């Protein structure tokens, strides 16, 4: 098959980890007889510097004309400490999600047998963890009306959901649960929030269409707790935008490093694939960032094209590298640490 893939490296360690995913994807394409044409485009602080906008129209056009988007990271510290900045790199990501219709953010958390000791949680607590969050990505408090009252001393961010937004996300959750252990957890705060009550009511009404799926409803605070107590008791979790943002960062460390977990953002026919971690500016340009999350995001991209063997080839080679200690310094425990590039080269060679 032939693919055009938009390549949005972004900021910080983004370009370095993206390079490795490109190498590995090209190796997979060669092995399985595909042809990938990469279409680089600007985003984030890099795009603000170049054209004054974090998600320029030209970048959007390139994404729309592609079969998928592979994304690195965005964010720069000079914006984080300046609350008055009008143009921010993160706005690029939000605009892109909205304009590409990427309402479902798939964020898995799984463990690697060779890394169980690297987790901040006890081995017996995390063994067998294999869960997936479906985070709603284009609604809720992120996109509701926000602003200041006239006195400037009062600020607001509205959280708004429509039944249709909940339904389309929940549908993906039910469908995913059907392909896995048929357990679905709806995470909300229905004891306090009206939007959560709409979520719960909507999901409850959908249960009859999926009689085999066992649905539980849990409050977000309780889920935050159980995630570190018994992460392996969860399978598929669906939740709104902000809860999903927070819980998926919490869950991402279970595997041992934030640099390991991939994600997919789906909704229209163009999926976006990106590591869960951010731009990690302290490590930028040092060849120390862990490329595995981005490489595994490329695996999710192939799988989303329906190419399961290609995805598996990537997952297998990542496992092999971890088993053989081909790791960056976040996982080396003071032992031999490989550079970002060297890990990427090793993976591409061993595909």
Closer residue to ligand IPM (CB): 240 or 329: 240
221 is in an annotated binding site: yes
Instruction: Given the residues 23, 118, 172, 189, select the one marked as catalytic.
Output: 189
In sequence order, the 6+-apart residues with CB closer than 8 A to the CB of 248 are: 105, 107, 109, 133, 135, 263, 276
- By a kind-dependent CB cut-off of 5 to 8 A, residue 11 interacts, out of Mn ion, ligand IPM, none, with none
The CA-atom distances, in angstroms, between 48 and each of 10, 64, 281 are 11, 20, 16
Binding site for ligand IPM (CB under 6 A): 75, 90, 93-94, 245
In sequence order, the 6+-apart residues with CB closer than 8 A to the CB of 330 are: 257, 259, 288, 290
Instruction: Given the residues 26, 130, 235, 249, select the one marked as catalytic.
Output: 249
Whether 98 sits among the annotated catalytic residues: the reply is no
Closer residue to ligand IPM (CB): 94 or 284: 94
- By a kind-dependent CB cut-off of 5 to 8 A, residue 93 interacts, out of Mn ion, ligand IPM, none, with ligand IPM
Binding site for Mn ion (CB under 5 A): 245
Closer residue to ligand IPM (CB): 73 or 347: 73
117 is in an annotated binding site: no
Query: Helix (H, G, I), strand (E, B), or coil: what is residue 212?
Result: coil
Minimum Å gap between C-beta 43 and ligand IPM is 12
88 is in an annotated binding site: no
Residue 294 to residue 289: CA distance in whole angstroms? 11
Residue 297 to residue 291: CA distance in whole angstroms? 10
Whether 245 sits among the annotated catalytic residues: the reply is yes
Minimum Å gap between C-beta 103 and Mn ion is 16
- By a kind-dependent CB cut-off of 5 to 8 A, residue 344 interacts, out of Mn ion, ligand IPM, none, with none
Contact 13, 291 (CB under 8 A): no
Minimum Å gap between C-beta 10 and ligand IPM is 10
Closer residue to ligand IPM (CB): 16 or 245: 245
Other Cβ atoms less than 10 A from the Cβ of 341: the count is: 14
Whether 189 sits among the annotated catalytic residues: the reply is yes
Whether 19 sits among the annotated catalytic residues: the reply is no
Nearest-CB residue for ligand IPM: 90
Instruction: Given the residues 188, 245, 330, 338, select the one marked as catalytic.
Output: 245
Instruction: Given the residues 23, 118, 142, 172, select the one marked as catalytic.
Output: 142
- By a kind-dependent CB cut-off of 5 to 8 A, residue 12 interacts, out of Mn ion, ligand IPM, none, with none
What are the E-state strand segments in the chain?
Answer: 2-10, 35-40, 68-73, 104-110, 130-136, 146-148, 155-157, 183-188, 214-219, 236-239, 262-266, 271-275
Could you tell me whether strands 262-266 and 271-275 are parallel, antiparallel, or unpaired per DSSP bridges? antiparallel
107 is in an annotated binding site: yes
Minimum Å gap between C-beta 68 and ligand IPM is 17
CA angle 89, 94, 97 (to 5 degrees): 130
Would you call 90 exposed, middle or buried from its count of C-beta atoms within 10 A (0-12, 13-18, 19+)? middle
Residue 44 to residue 55: CA distance in whole angstroms? 7
Residue numbers belonging to the annotated binding site for Mg(2+): 221, 245, 249
Catalytic residues: 142, 189, 221, 245, 249
Residue numbers belonging to the annotated binding site for substrate: 97, 107, 135, 221
């Amino acid at each position: 098959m032939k693919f055009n893939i938009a390549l949005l490296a972004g900021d910080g360690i983004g370009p370095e980890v993206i390079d490795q995913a490109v190498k590995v994807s090209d190796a997979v394409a060669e092995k399985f007889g595909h042809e990938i044409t990469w279409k680089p485009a600007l985003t984030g602080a890099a795009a603000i510097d170049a054209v004054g906008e974090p998600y320029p129209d030209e970048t959007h056009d390139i994404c729309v004309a592609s079969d998928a988007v592979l994304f690195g990271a965005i964010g720069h510290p000079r914006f984080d400490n300046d609350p008055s900045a009008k143009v921010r790199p993160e706005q690029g990501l939000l605009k892109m999600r909205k304009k590409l219709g990427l309402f479902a953010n798939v964020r898995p958390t799984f463990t690697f047998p060779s890394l169980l000791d690297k987790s901040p949680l006890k081995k017996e607590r995390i063994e067998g963890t294999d869960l997936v969050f479906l985070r709603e990505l284009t609604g809720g408090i992120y996109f509701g009306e926000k602003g200041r009252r006239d006195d400037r001393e009062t600020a607001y961010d509205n959280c708004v959901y429509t039944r249709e937004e909940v339904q389309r996300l929940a549908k993906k959750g039910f469908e995913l649960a059907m392909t896995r252990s048929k357990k679905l957890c709806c995470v909300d705060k229905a004891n306090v929030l009206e939007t959560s009550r709409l979520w719960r009511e909507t999901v409850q009404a959908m249960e009859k269409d999926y009689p085999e799926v066992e649905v539980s409803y849990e409050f977000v605070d309780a889920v935050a707790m159980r995630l570190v107590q018994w992460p392996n008791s969860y399978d598929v979790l669906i939740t709104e935008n902000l809860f999903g943002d927070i819980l998926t960062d919490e869950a991402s460390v279970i595997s041992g490093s934030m640099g390991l977990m991939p994600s997919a953002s789906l909704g229209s026919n163009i999926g976006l694939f990106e590591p869960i971690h951010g731009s990690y500016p302290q490590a930028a340009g040092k060849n120390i960032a862990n490329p595995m999350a981005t490489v595994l995001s490329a695996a999710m991209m192939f799988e989303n094209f329906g190419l399961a063997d290609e995805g598996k080839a990537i997952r297998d080679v990542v496992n092999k590298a971890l088993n053989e200690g081909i790791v960056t310094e976040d996982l080396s425990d003071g032992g031999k640490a490989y550079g970002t590039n060297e890990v990427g080269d090793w993976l591409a060679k061993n595909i």
